[in-house]
Amino acid sequence: MNEAKVAFFDRIEQQGLALTFDDVRLRTSANPDNPLPDPLDISSRFSRNVELNTPFVSAAMDTVTESRMAISMAELGGLGVLHAALSPQEQKAKVRTVKYANSGLIPNPKTVNETDSLQEVINRCETENYHFRTFPVIDNNGKFVGLITGRTFRYRDEDSTKTVSELMTPSDQVVKAPANVEVDEAYTLMTKEEVNTLPLINGDGSVKGLYIYDSIKRSIRANDSTHNVDSHHRLRVAAAVPTNESAIERVKLMRGSSDFLDVVVLDSADGDSYWAFRTLDELKSEFPDLDVVVGNISDGESARMLAEAGADGIKVGQGPGSICTTRIETGIGKPQVSAIYECASAVEDLDVPLCADGGIRNHGDISIAIAAGAHTVMMGKMLAGTEEAAGEKLTGPDGRIYKKYRGMASPSSIKDGGAAARGYVGASEETPLPEGVDDEVHFRGPVESVIKLCKQALIKSMKYTKSRSLDDHRKNAQLFRVTNSGMIESMPHIKL
């Protein structure tokens, strides 16, 4: 942080004040010497080892992030955090859906039996409307015994009464691979062997999946351009877990045998509780190579203690969210810009990225959050109205389309179990206190268009502050305090 920013926040703190987005704006700075690069660098990190191409993260809420949102966020260079109000098995399945998206892998492909006649297979293709003609062949015990492809159909018309086993390429002549082969290894093997299909075979001989060369090639090219991908070219995904004993089991399931989960978010409204520290400790001992982001907190001292206890990222925000009532019900929580700054400056020397979670209402808030010290912003309301958001679509009495958006501690979410997933419910509480509201937001179309605007606005703001990268913006952008009339002046006021 530069000296001017430190001095600004010191002055505010000395007065016993804390600021939020509408209390501040950013200074422009002059740059007579060097033109800014084009494009500016908006890559960032969600945690120590998890990089993003864009600093946007979708909230771990049951009306925001399930696999559809997580896929789109990663495709847009950011990250989706799957919410924890899912059963462990459901959460695992959603992680897999993200990882298999765009991978060129067909999991559990359709198979045919070796005793089927070719005509039976042709009939099935017609009735089931299959557009493909590649099938792994299995025997009566479900074991892989061979492969038929488009060639079998194309050149064997006259053989349609023959059985599949007579026409297939038998297993010993098929290039195949074990079930855990990743897309990059599959691509290398298929290129070397010059094959278009690669069946993946489980230890018991059954078929796990099928890679198709052209789709792998397409997906590697697309994924490696702007998408946020792991070292195997798969889309990155995060998942929230509660601060209790179920965290370990959930992470074990989600990671699976192939490091499917990129980062876990230990998610609680009270992120510096005994249970948060304890679960962090357990997760780091059990999975030392998995990044754990912990939140939510709003105090510098807590950020420091969590970072020293092993957190790989810190999530800041107690009560700034659009659907939150924590501050009203409990009086707890610090205005978000001060919370971000205090936490960021407390862990600055520890290389622990900070995620500013909640309260982003206008695009300019994103730039302010980063200028105050955040590496990424987590958004709920901003994304809740999009097609990909997990909330239900509704038609309002005015005929307009809405999407349901609710706090994880809203009355309806408490009933459905969402509040427990984020630690709002104490063990002895029969009727938990709502700390959020149930609401709806206007439908906004595809998430791509919303993120595009967020990105444009952030880049524009960085141009005004003359920042070449987000790091530059975070270190050097200067804030100043605005009055209420300054804020009124900032908004359209033609009718005033």
Q: How far is the CB of 441 from ligand XMP (least distance, A)?
A: 9
435, two tokens: 């700390």
Select 198 or 454, whichever has its Cβ closest to ligand XMP: 454
Measured between alpha carbons, how far is 6 from 478 in angstroms, rounded to an integer? 10
First-to-last C-alpha distance (Å) of the chain: 38
Q: How far is the CB of 100 from ligand XMP (least distance, A)?
A: 26
Binding site for ligand XMP (CB under 6 A): 59, 61, 269, 296, 317, 319, 321-324, 326, 357-360, 378-382, 407-410, 435-436
- Cis bond before residue 39 (omega within 30° of 0): yes
Q: How far is the CB of 238 from ligand XMP (least distance, A)?
A: 12
Select 261 or 377, whichever has its Cβ closest to ligand XMP: 377
Catalytic residue among 250, 324, 355, 444: 324
Question: What are 252's strand-pairing partners?
Answer: none
Nearest-CA neighbor of 48 among 469, 352, 357? 352
Q: How far is the CB of 21 from ligand XMP (least distance, A)?
A: 11
Measured between alpha carbons, how far is 424 from 479 in angstroms, rounded to an integer? 34
Sequence letter at residue 322:
S
Select 300 or 358, whichever has its Cβ closest to ligand XMP: 358
The pairs formed by 195-199 with CB atoms below 8 angstroms and a separation of 24 or more are 196/149, 197/134, 197/147, 197/149, 199/136, 199/144, 199/147, 199/174
Helix (H) / strand (E) element for 358: namely: none
Residue nearest to ligand XMP (CB): 436
Measured between alpha carbons, how far is 100 from 27 in angstroms, rounded to an integer? 44
Select 165 or 412, whichever has its Cβ closest to ligand XMP: 412
324 is catalytic: yes
Q: How far is the CB of 3 from ligand XMP (least distance, A)?
A: 31
Measured between alpha carbons, how far is 339 from 398 in angstroms, rounded to an integer? 39
241 by DSSP, 3-state: which? strand
Q: How far is the CB of 446 from ligand XMP (least distance, A)?
A: 18
Q: How far is the CB of 136 from ligand XMP (least distance, A)?
A: 43
Catalytic residue among 45, 422, 444, 474: 422
Select 323 or 425, whichever has its Cβ closest to ligand XMP: 323
Helix, strand, coil distribution of the chain in percent, nearest 5 = 40, 20, 40
Contact 401, 419 (CB under 8 A): no
Select 80 or 136, whichever has its Cβ closest to ligand XMP: 80
Helix (H) / strand (E) element for 300: namely: helix 300-308
Measured between alpha carbons, how far is 339 from 297 in angstroms, rounded to an integer? 8
Select 146 or 295, whichever has its Cβ closest to ligand XMP: 295
Q: How far is the CB of 422 from ligand XMP (least distance, A)?
A: 7
Select 190 or 447, whichever has its Cβ closest to ligand XMP: 447
> 213-223 vs 183-193: helix axis angle to the nearest 10?
130
Q: Show the CA angle centred on residue 405, arms to residues 228 and 47, nearest 5°.
A: 30
Catalytic positions are 324, 422
